[in-house]
Amino acid sequence: MNTSTITTNKTIDLAQFSAQQLKEALIKIENKKNEEREAYKKLVAETIPKALLKLYKTSEMISKVKTETFQLFETILDLKNQVYGFKEKQMSHTFSNDKEEITIGYRINEGWDDTATIGIEKVQNYISSLSTSKETASLVKIVFNLLKKDAKGNLKGSRVLELQKLTKEFNNEEFTDGVEIIASSFKPVRSSWFIEANTINENGTRTTIPLSMSAVDFLHGYAFNFFNQQNEQTNAA
């Protein structure tokens, strides 16, 4: 066997070992590596249920508190309708005093069916034909801005309402038909019921109470870093 060396913390002369000894040493190292990896997988498998149990209990608690909060304001809304003799049709309600503020309501996802693109093309065809002077060009720009889609590729419902107002101004059959097609393709879907809560200081500044997992910060004194082998821990001030 040729004499060679490997360097770890110190230099080892491989010539001191037989081929069988080297083979056994390599097997031992490989076995240890496999054992450590199996131990890691076992630790992951044991940790997941512990974390999920805590998260599941937290989810149940949040659901319970959310329900109870809406139930509390359900009574207040009924009383409000009786006192003012008017039932409001709105997506949210805000209640406040000098130091706190709570808003409850629901959000809407704006959806459109596939006919919206037909309406957009009809509107664009007509509007493009008007761009003949500075005055009409600015109007064309306004309409095209109303037809702009958001980051998700959807139109904004509020902008379509603005388009509907313009149908009287243009008084054109193709434009009006295009806007009507767009409006009829609007398919809004109620997404989620929400609660927002704030405290108000003497200067009127609002501080939001975090109510979602992503909004809530870690406990004071704890810091987590994916890029370190160990979590960074800092002592509480």
pLDDT digits (tens, 9 = 90+) for 95-150: 999 899 999 999 888 888 888 889 988 888 888 887 676 667 777 788 888 888 77
Q: Please provide residue 162's backbone torsions phi and psi, each rounded to the nearest 5 degrees.
A: -65, -40
More confident residue, 48 or 11: 48
55 located within any domain: yes
Tens digit of each residue's pLDDT (9 = 90 or more) over 38-79:
999 999 999 999 999 999 999 999 999 999 999 999 889 888
Residue 27 sits in the same domain as residue 78: yes
The predicted structure's pLDDT at residue 51: 95
Give Cα separations from 63 to 60, 105, 193 (angstroms).
Answer: 5, 15, 11
User: Within a domain: residue 6?
Assistant: no
Has residue 81 been placed in a domain? yes
Is residue 179 located within the same domain as residue 122?
Answer: yes
31/71 same-domain check? yes
Q: Do 141 and 177 belong to one domain?
A: yes
Q: How many alpha carbons fall within 13 Å on the CB side of residue 71?
A: 6
CB 154 within 8 A of CB 110: yes
Q: Are 133 and 103 part of one and the same domain?
A: no
Statement to judge: residues 134 and 78 lie in one domain: no
* 40: in domain: yes
Q: Which residues pair with 200 in a beta bridge?
A: 206
Residue 96's pLDDT is 92
164-196: per-residue pLDDT in tens?
888 887 888 888 999 999 999 988 888 889 999
Q: Nearest-CA neighbor of 105 among 193, 189, 188?
A: 193
Residue 62 placed within a domain:
yes
- For the cut 80, the answer to whether the pLDDT of residue 2 exceeds it is no
CA distance 171 to 159: 18
- Asked if residue 82 and residue 25 are part of one domain, the reply reads yes
Answer whether residue 82 is part of any domain: yes
| Pair 59, 104 in one domain | no
Shared-domain flag, residues 106 and 209: yes
Q: What is the DSSP letter of 218?
A: P
User: Residues 151, 190: contact at Cβ < 8 Å?
Assistant: no
Task: Examine residue 97 and state whether it is found in any structural domain, yes or no.
Answer: yes
Query: Mean pLDDT across the chain, nearest whole number?
Result: 83
Q: Are 231 and 223 in contact (CB under 8 A)?
A: yes
Cβ-in-10-Å burial (0-12, 13-18, 19+) of 152 comes to exposed
Q: Is the pLDDT reported for residue 229 higher than 60?
A: no
* Beta pairing partners, 194: 105
pTM for the predicted model, two decimal places: 0.64
Contact 200, 99 (CB under 8 A): yes
Give CA–CA dist 70/134, Å, rounded. 53
Secondary structure class of 5 (helix, strand, coil): strand
210 SS3 class: coil
Q: What is the pLDDT of residue 131?
A: 67
198 exposed, middle or buried (CB, 10 Å; 0-12, 13-18, 19+)? middle
Domain, as residue range, for 174: 116-184
Four-residue CA torsion sign, 65, 67, 72, 77 = positive
Q: Do the domain assignments include residue 54?
A: yes
> Same domain for 176 and 77?
no
For residues 106 and 194, state if they share a domain. yes
Q: How many domains does the chain have?
A: 3
**Residues 102, 60 within the same domain:** no
